[in-house]
Structure 1
Amino acid sequence: MSKIIPVMVHHETGEKAQAAGKKNQEYLKYCIAQAKKYNEKVVLLGDEYNKAWCDDWHNANDFITEKWTKFHSVFENLSTYPTAWAEGIFKRFFLILEYLERNSFEECVIIDSDVLLYLNVSEYEPFRHCKVAAETPLLQDFAMLEEGNGLKWKTCAGFSYFTTEGLREFTDFCIDMYANHKDILMKKWDVHRKFGMYGGVGEMALLHLWVSSLPEGEYLNLLQDDANHSVFDNSVGESSGYLEHQYEYIKRLSVKNLHWENGRPYCYTIDGHEKTWFLNLHFVDITKIFMEGIYENQSYSAHAKFVTYMLKCRGRLADIKHGNTKWQQKLKIRRSQKA
């Protein structure tokens, strides 16, 4: 195990569905600055627009390889996401693998660019005993389908640990699945198409299938408590962790009810009111607006609270318009079953 584990961030404006034509997303600089508070080596694979935000910046295009080109040639968009984004979410794994191999690193931590990190990853002892670590919730059923369907295939790499060997194996797996086992991937995609469900097959699905195939002990689930009663957060905007509705939640803002001690965040569980430390915070979707306030003041700022409330209302209306609410999904399922 290397003495220093690099924290890897991949952020290209063109790869971000939420960029909306902007050349920079301000939240990235908070991600980088927070990671550097705890870690010696933080690497950004980016583009010309974010070069100034990390002193260990590299042009992501310099790490394009034949392996990525091969994946591109076999990839098929089996989701409702825009094709460029659906393929782009796999890109970082291939770029980061090339970076590790060129620089003789044996392992790394990968974080999304909307994550705040509260951990020196080089000193995190559980990484010494696994090949890969990521975030897998217990429940893998779609709530609107029959019990036991297990088709969420949700393992998130928003914060993840890979050995270089593991990352090499995972990228091989992705190519092989699209090239030779599309029938397996279609099991999930067919359900999404049949019932008009948002989403489909993405990098979380492929990662879930791969880690499920590993021998016992090679995969570490970061949503489960470690020896210090600490976990990794997969979304500030959800009350769930490893279990559904696990943590105290501020409903009007749609965020976890965070507390702070010595600069570190924690939350109480709903069942048992147990104090649980978070080693990172992940600001998915509209909760990105809270990153500045949390980074600067360890609080949800008043401005962000108001904007998030308005965005939440707008998002709810959009869900209704596009038929994405749970009751509309259930109605689609009933109609499909009767047809």
Structure 2
Amino acid sequence: MTSPMLAVLALALNALVWGLSWWPLRQLDANGLHPLWSTACVFTLATLVLTLVRPSGWGHFKQYPQLWWLMAASGLTNVGFNWAVTTGDVVRVVLLFYLMPTWSLLLAWWLLGDRPTRGALARLGLALLGVVLVLKAPESPWPLPQDLPDILALLAGFCFALTNIWLLRLQHTPESARMMAMFGGGACMALACALVPWADGLGASAAMAWLSDASLAQATTWAPYLVGLSVAFLVSNFSLQYGAARLSAHTTAMVMMSEVVFASVSSVALGASALSWRIGLGGGMIVLAALLASQSHTSKDTTP
């Protein structure tokens, strides 16, 4: 039997990587590399490494065509989150992204027939209350989409919930095929969004400037961040697959909400956000919900 706690720790590692990813992405953006191109470069590099290590991964797409759906969902998750967290307020973006448990619960009910228990609904309510506490300051508007980063964060959260559902549905497929779908999706979707004409109105095509401005000095500055992110995302996505394929969609959603805490703490420590009692209390509620979820496994939570 697979240890439930090991799967929870794997998801927590994935959340830690994504919770800290905003900083290197902003460093790349500050050096002239748009987040869409950063995402395309990072995931292309990771896909090449996977192809060299496990070339058989691509061969499973013909046998399991649903992998293309995983590729699309995962790719759009990476595009939306990376773009939003680079250009928007870190804490706000992450919190809007983690309205994801709502999508996850509904998608699991619809696609998997996984009816939520009263306990799952209670934990979801506790976590979402924590999100509202952190996001809704007295002087701020209600957490409705205000600009492009907000919309991207919501889209990324929906696509991440869908990614978790597809990971559960495809848990019988080879691990190498799932990883290839996820990293290949990140590379293809980011490249497509950077190049399509409609992106011009959203500022995406401004990223094209780096192609003409690129210099050896800039490439030297970008390289450590790109390589580091590629390695970190490889480790984190392996952890996500390990955990999400062995836990229920509800539990996965709750544990992954710890990313809110990692992003909040890191952004406050580096001066990108201000700490308040609301963030502390709301973050504590989110962590509590995740801990309760990790202790509440049903027969669906583990895989022999």
TM-score w.r.t. structure 2 length?
0.28
Of Structure 1 and Structure 2, the greater strand share is in 1
Instruction: Say which structure is richer in helix.
Output: 2
